[in-house]
Amino acid sequence: MECYIPLGKLADNAAIAEVKQSHDSRRFVVFDEDLSIYLRAGDTTRLHRFTVWINDAKVLQSQGVASFNKVTGLDACWILKPGTTDSLFRSSVVMNNGYNNQIKFTVEYVEDVPISDDQKSSSEDGDNDILPSFEPVLPGQPPKQNANSIHQSGLSIMNVPPEQLKSITLQYPIYSLLNMRLRNSMLKNRHCIISSLDFQTSKASIQFSERYLPSSRPDGIRPELRLDFQELRYELVDRTARCPLDPITPFPVPFQAVAHDSYSISYQLPLVPDHNLSPHRVKITLKYVMPLGNHRLPITTTWETDVTLKKPAITNTPQPSSSLPTSRMYTLGSRINLLGSTTSFTNNKLNNVKFKFLDKNVNAYKGAQFTMTLQIVNSSTQPLDLVIYYNNRNPPPHPQISVPLSLDKQYQMYKRYRRTTEGVILLSNDYKVPLVGPHETYFVRLNFVGIISGYYSTLPGLKIVDLQRNELIEVGLGASIYIH
């Protein structure tokens, strides 16, 4: 028994030598890859079981050749049925852990001992001495198969003792090239839901490039990872039908993505009554190809999910604990404290790391996109693994004033808080910054859009999280923006 998993798709009439040569080039498996799995058996070989494992989870198991089709033109060669691999990567085993995942293919089979001519003749003589029993044959009932026909079909329908089983195991690391998510927001005044499909190349794709992309240049520099997207679908689905939706802003397909690229594509859904009881269900499909030398690896990522909305914020927020530092960023007396802040911010827990906005006094128009450049200076001896995000839904502050405020003052504070937290939106949210090495400087271009006019001396929701230390850093104190 032989098992081959070629690198990329081959022609239907590919010779077995071509299949084996492509299989010898495989060192990995890409998450959601459209795999072709070939089995080649001898005349006396019976397939007993085919099993696929991801880490410690069994994601596929089939008895005999139930999941395989006979390859036309190749003797004793079988290929995995189309669509069978769609269920391999639907498990959350890989999605919850983006690194150090392994996929294992196990083929269990039995080698039959060939029957000699003397044994065949003695068996035939013995059969002639005994009259066959009369059994009724029902209409439409298939005739019983003998042992030889079972061997030829490759099926294994009886229990086999473990000591007679032989096995082949192929194991590869899994690389997930994309990070994806779906963000949903409700616009009550428009009676609609804005659903944003966000995806970007992952950190694992960088590791994959460094390890497996061949170097074809004389200077030894490896080519850049490239993903050729051929199809992108966002569909409303139910039990009986599906309806494809177009993005709010036209998005060209096909397109190419390279390392560190990120995309955010928004769709508009109708707001129906009792949405929380009966939410929309959508199906998202991305089909793309990764060129790798002379090979092209087809990848299809698809999943279905409900369009859920965040629960409304609870108005009765508890008072912050006295053991935690309370920010006075939004209080009436905090404006004087902010005047002394500079565009360079150093966190106490991250020594020798500074963040600075290079754009000063930014002027933009409401509804128009603008860009700000954030400089990250890592003067420490450790690398930085950072993610930039904008949380503009912070709970409203509690002013540290002994005298109770009037309703007019409270309303003014609420309007100021709402404008400060909701007036500017970060379009490139949850941006994964490439690893910033020790004594390196990195520049990040962040895309914003202003939706409420006014002057913003700070962006309090703009933060950076250090994934290695689980520390949160405020970086929006140095912003200065005026929205016309």
Same fold yes or no, 2-113+148-174 and 335-483:
yes
CATH match of 335-483 with 3.40.50.970? no
* pTM attached to this predicted model: 0.56
Pick the CATH number of 177-215+222-306 from 3.40.50, 2.60.40, 1.10.3470, 3.40.720: 2.60.40
pLDDT value, residue 152: 42
Among 389, 368, 381, residue whose Cα is nearest residue 444: 389
Which tokens is 159 given? 């229990």
Please check whether residue 420 is in contact with residue 475, taking contact to mean a CB–CB distance below 8 angstroms: no
pLDDT value, residue 151: 42
pLDDT value, residue 287: 94
- Residue 123: HSE in the Cβ half-sphere, 13 Å Cα cutoff: 6
pLDDT value, residue 247: 92
pLDDT value, residue 339: 34
pLDDT value, residue 227: 93
pLDDT value, residue 317: 45
CATH match of 2-113+148-174 with 1.10.3470? no
pLDDT value, residue 190: 78
Which tokens is 78 given? 């079988």
Residue with tokens 């009439």: 13
Rounded Cα distance, 78 and 68, in Å? 6
Domain residue spans of the chain: 2-113+148-174, 177-215+222-306, 335-483
**Digitized pLDDT (tens) for each residue of the chain, 484 residues in all:** 889 999 888 887 778 888 888 899 899 999 889 898 888 887 778 888 889 988 888 888 888 888 888 887 677 788 888 877 777 777 555 554 556 788 999 999 888 765 555 555 555 555 555 555 555 555 555 555 444 433 444 444 456 677 778 889 999 999 888 888 888 888 877 788 889 999 998 888 888 888 888 765 566 666 788 999 999 999 988 888 888 899 998 999 899 999 888 899 999 988 876 655 667 889 999 999 999 888 899 999 988 888 887 655 444 444 444 333 333 333 333 333 333 333 333 444 466 788 888 887 889 998 888 999 988 888 888 888 888 888 765 444 444 444 455 555 555 555 555 555 567 888 877 888 888 888 888 888 888 888 888 888 888 778 888 887 778 888 887 788 888 8
pLDDT value, residue 126: 52
The CA–CA distances, whole Å, from 270 to 100, 185, 275, 422 equal 41, 12, 10, 23
